[in-house]
Amino acid sequence: MTPPQSAIDEALAITRAFHRQPGAVSAAIQRLAGGMNNAVYRVQLADQPVCVKLYKVDERQRAEREWQALCWIGERGLGIAPQPLHFAPDAELPAVVMEFVPGVSLSDQQPGVRELAALAATLKQLYALTPQISTYPHTVIGTPLGLMQRVESWLAQLADRADEPLVAQILAVMAQWESEADRTILAMPAPLVFSRGDPNLANCLWDGQRVRCVDLEYSGWSDVAFDLADLIEAQPSRHVSDPAWERFIDLFELHDPAAQERLAAARRLCAVFWISLLWRRWERGEPVEHELAGQTRRARQRLKRATL
């Protein structure tokens, strides 16, 4: 049941006021975990909870993008994302009010065969949305070309630090990646499909029957091979075993040699991209050296497979 507009307006006002008062306590509102760039709240209305998301303001138009994605998916009755309830543009705290989706994130558990099959079913419904079905105004945040440019920009900053042991290991891996033909492969056109644009399994919620996706602020057009690579090679996916991921990939029946080649190239790119992300976190003083070393080993393994 959709709450009345007056209740939605009240929830939004309560949330913005609560957000502006650090340390405030209220039985009606709870800040949810995650929300790295934004603030996400569960607000209890008279008859049901809703989710209110307050967005960081930048050039990515996060609030507008998520609202459009939720509406676009909701119009098709897929039931795999929150129902959009209200969009409130604002120069300081733009907001989207949406259905509160219950469930346990796939990052907080060890997904088994059933959960991964449900995730695949949800992604297939998203991938069935193509430009031929309807228009959508965005490409995903984080295209293959965009990731390559970010990696290359980061590499240029490491050039004068090659005498540092960890940097030397990373540069050796990156030199191997630079010798691959992945740029050419990933520059080739591929059929466009709709993607949530976010590889984080924390935003995939399992309710015991199905997986629903939240946090669509990066969503847009991508392709199946790159989207799967982005998911599987993301650092938040490391608690799922490689054999489980290989079985997951098989569910998509990517039998075409070009699709398989693109998937392999995209997995190599995403593996080295995560080295750059972890490096930046390590330089900021976060305790991620173990993860950084592990990601460097993983990237080396992915590159080694390309030479067998």
Is the same domain home to 63 and 142? no
Is the same domain home to 289 and 220? yes
Is the same domain home to 242 and 138? yes
Q: With 50 as the cut, is the pLDDT of residue 308 above it? A: no
Question: Are the C-beta atoms of 279 and 171 separated by less than 8 Å?
Answer: no
Q: With 60 as the cut, is the pLDDT of residue 20 above it? A: yes
Percentage of residues in the chain having pLDDT higher than 70: 98
| Residue 306: predicted pLDDT | 58
Predicted confidence (pLDDT) per residue in 227-272, tens digit = 999 999 999 999 999 999 999 999 999 999 999 999 999 999 999 9
Is the same domain home to 145 and 183? yes
Is the same domain home to 131 and 265? yes
Q: Residue 289 belongs to a domain with what CATH number?
A: 3.90.1200.10
Three-state helix/strand/coil letters over the chain = CCCCHHHHHHHHHHHHHHHCCCCCCCCCEEECCCCCCCEEEEEECCCCEEEEEECCCCCCCHHHHHHHHHHHHHCCCCCCCCCEEEEECCCCCCEEEEECCCCEECCCCCCCHHHHHHHHHHHHHHHCCCCCCCCCCCECCCCHHHHHHHHHHHHHHHHHHCCCHHHHHHHHHHHHHHCCCHHHHHHCCCCCEEECCCCCHHHEEECCCCEEECCCCCCEEECHHHHHHHHHCCHHHCCCCHHHHHHHHHCCCCCCHHHHHHHHHHHHHHHHHHHHHHHHHHHCCCCCHHHHHHHHHHHHHHHHHHHC
Q: How many domains does the chain have?
A: 2
Choice between 157 and 81, residue whose per-residue pLDDT is larger: 81
Is the same domain home to 183 and 299? yes
Choice between 121 and 28, residue whose per-residue pLDDT is larger: 121
Joined tokens for residue 98: 């949406």
Is the same domain home to 131 and 12? no
Q: With 60 as the cut, is the pLDDT of residue 307 above it? A: no
Q: Residue 44 belongs to a domain with what CATH number?
A: 3.30.200.20
- Provide the pLDDT confidence category of residue 27 given band limits of 50, 70 and 90: confident
Is the same domain home to 198 and 278? yes
- Provide the pLDDT confidence category of residue 23 given band limits of 50, 70 and 90: confident
Predicted confidence (pLDDT) per residue in 276-303, tens digit = 999 999 999 999 999 999 999 999 999 9
Mean pLDDT of the chain: 92
Q: Provide the domain limits for residue 92.
A: 5-100
Predicted confidence (pLDDT) per residue in 122-152, tens digit = 999 999 999 988 788 889 999 999 999 999 9
